Structure 1
């Protein structure tokens, strides 16, 4: 019998198809819940700020503490995956999100709220690493398309999350108005849904013995890793900052209503969502690295154009979602292809260091807004100070997108020179 025929794989059985369906449901619904948990904060933050009397610096600090929880989770999730398995890690992350929803509901002070958000972001960090590793293990073909498709569900829930949160906060039940605490409780309770396919399914192991696994020191010695860290750091700061600051910007800089501002954030995530759905095959076709350069540069330019155009150009903030959307899943696809035997270690290493930048980035945005606001207010009035401060904060967000593109240029040259371009 010819060698190639003897190695032909048998068609997948009904059992293996069912297992794959449970894996897909866990990934897709998991990202759906992840998007909800991340992006109800847009409409919630102005209400939190008003109720607790917080300035922009303390809001930036709150978001930085959230990123710190995310960072902490990233630092130990790969270890947990190796010790207790990816299935248990996914269940633990979903469970911690439910618990954090209850604690946010009970929060009545800034420290209590900060601690509750910190726990939520620990769950989010564990979930992101878990879903990324699971995706790297099961998406062995058309990796760019499938990674973008799975992250499409994050964008889908991110699109509707601001509108749902804003709409819920206009309702009353039994004469009691629904506030931001109720919204967090309701939304985070949905994390029980992906626990169902996770419990029912069977997840793949790493597929390598410890001897076969690429050690951390080898991964850390690869220059590509550090280039990817720079790319993701700038890209994720730019992506995540929109959820935290766009509604605040539109309400305070342009005087938009909470509903209208949340609507624009939803439009951003609509562009974001469909970009991930339709641009995934493009990344497979033109290459992962070139895709990052083109799309992140587009996002930065659109953000700067939106600031320059003023209120009539506010829709360009939403259009910037088209460019920034493919960055994270495309880099994850690149990692999955390049580090197939050590994807969990590589993903954790990169995302952990990326999280450090996210902490710094969130803090800097709040500091820039507050600093410029205070400087300008002393000479040109509080209203002008706030406007210019918010614009300066958003300039930093657009600059991060451009720096993401610039960081990908040396990676493209490095890989092309060695014939390793992906």
Structure 2
């Protein structure tokens, strides 16, 4: 049997790298967005209110943040391959722990561990993308993140579907659903195991130190853009089903269907708009798309139940924000992308912790302005919390305008 030529080896390795990244984003989408249908049942089982739910999501975002803070260090010490395998493994293990949890403290700990794995995986996949996608960066970043949107589209439907299945006379509950879905993390470990990942050998003298990076105003603008954009994006998975069920009395199937519509728009935007971001520029794309998302969110809130489709249409604008920011980082910081990504995503994680907490606090605070126990109070509280999600998208657009001006004045527009 003839040995593979060097060109064939490179192509095979690239295919394995793509499989790791693309399937990794599929798993990431599942793990992040099966919580929508599960949250009302988690609340019911453990007897927690919206404020406690917001606190739970914030603490889990803290786990995500902690993972982001140490993943780049592990990458430099162990290499991206071992870190990627560890991320997938920890997510699978967290599924077992969630399944075994029968008390709220154990559940919180297990959920926290899942977010540790999510944080490690996000940094690892972002670093891989920055190293692999050196041409047509916007298109390839959006394509990679399209697989996140694709799995996010079906995740709520799969989750709600699993929780209605009877096996041996027993209906699958949310714990077993998490066990099944997180066990899928073992699949992308196969291409990762057989891949060779370049970039770990970059010499220290070719890297710009973090102390120099944090003096760059552009870096801080990118932090703000990503933070507000991700709060707006990720909050939908946690709050939209809850909003539709409690404000409009939709059943779980209909509410999960609207969440899936959001992620359908979300995934199609990442599939189709990547070439647009390459063509018109990354920074201008951020302005237009985040502004569109914020506008759709406010239309959905103020038009009532009949305008609920605009919750889904907001996914068109918010979807390309994260991958487009990753493309900006890959182009602006080519030799220190791992350091820049880790710092930016860690700062973004702080924003996510605050954002999830604020949504829960805003809902409870707005309910208190009315009769907190009435349906009107609940609806006004949920509307106020969701308005904060739309406001974050608008602020993301405003920060993108500032980045556009900053880069254009320096002749560095991307």
TM-score under structure 1 length normalisation: 0.96
| Cα deviation 1:395-416 (Å, max 9, x = unaligned) | 0000000000001111100101
Helix, strand or coil at the partner of 2:336: helix
Which residue of 144, 153, 158 maps to 2:152? 158
Which residue of 393, 396, 404 maps to 2:385? 393
Match of 1:362 in 2: 356
Which residue of 224, 230, 233 maps to 1:236? 230
Match of 1:135 in 2: 129
Aligned equivalents of 2:371 and 2:172: distance in 1? 35
Give unmatched runs, 5+ long, in structure 1. 1-10
Match of 2:403 in 1: 411
Q: How many residues align?
A: 410
Which residue of 79, 82, 90 maps to 1:96? 90
Aligned equivalents of 1:12 and 1:24: distance in 2? 18
**Corresponding position: 1:265 with 2:259:** yes
Aligned equivalents of 2:8 and 2:290: distance in 1? 41
Match of 1:275 in 2: 269
Equivalences for residues 6-405 of structure 1 within 5 A:
13-377=7-371, 382-405=374-397
Aligned-pair CA distance for 1:12: 6.8
Runs of 4+ in 1 over 3 A off after TM superposition: none
Kept after mapping to 2: 8 A contact 1:137/1:206: no
Kept after mapping to 2: 8 A contact 1:31/1:150: yes
Kept after mapping to 2: 8 A contact 1:171/1:178: yes
Aligned-pair CA distance for 1:207: 4.9
Helix, strand or coil at the partner of 2:411: coil
Give unmatched runs, 5+ long, in structure 2. none
Helix, strand or coil at the partner of 1:141: coil
Kept after mapping to 2: 8 A contact 1:147/1:330: yes
Aligned-pair CA distance for 1:171: 1.2
TM-score under structure 2 length normalisation: 0.98
Aligned equivalents of 2:369 and 2:383: distance in 1? 14
